[in-house]
Structure 1
């Protein structure tokens, strides 16, 4: 069943994959993703690692706490989805195009 399987090479392959994953994590910090809500009244920027790196709030929202909260939540959810999609596409690229995520 496992004839011809070189376990020594498997260890090297796993090590290479781990090194590649670390490299991708570092590269992700250089990726910048932006989500807007309310026609641009709120803008949230995150890096590919999921860290929020910038936030812009239009002055007109400062008096409307409820709208501010709703738009902020929307923009943050959108940017988080972008980060996850970016991570998935990097993982698929690392695996040579095989998609372990099912879609």
Structure 2
């Protein structure tokens, strides 16, 4: 019985190292999303930090600031969803079948 417990602990430590490596790799990834046919582009890293916002000059209309705001929101939400989807796909492999609500 004790040998099984030691073996299980080693397996858990191994899995934890793999999870940490996968998370580090996710954090280093770059994600990009655009809205308005490329008029607004938002870039973020896997930590959900926005690293760049690119706005085409022709979309800047002082009389229609709302449209620009909407495009920025749409692109930002899209890039955050991409990060969530990639995180779920990558980290979900470690929690498959464990039935742990709230994990990733």
Q: Does TM, normalized by the shorter one, top 0.5?
A: yes
Within a 5 Å distance, the mapping from 1:24-103 to structure 2 comes to 24-62=22-60, 63=62, 64-94=64-94, 98=96
Tell me the secondary structure at the aligned position of residue 44 of structure 1: strand
**TM-score (normalizing by structure 2):** 0.77
Structure 1: 4+ residue segments shifted above 6 A: none
Structure 1: tracts of 5 or more residues without a match = none
Tell me which moved more, 65-74 or 51-60.
Answer: 51-60
- 1:66 Cα deviation from its structure 2 partner: 0.5
Query: In 2, distance between residues paired with 1:51 and 1:25?
Result: 15
Tell me the secondary structure at the aligned position of residue 49 of structure 1: coil
CA RMSD, aligned part only?
2.4
**Which digits, 9 at most, give the CA deviation of each residue in 1:16-37, with x for residues without a partner?**
2221121112111332211110
- 1:81 Cα deviation from its structure 2 partner: 0.6
The 8 Å contact of residues 25 and 49 in structure 1, kept in 2 or not, is answered as no
Number of equivalences: 97
Structure 2: tracts of 5 or more residues without a match = 100-104
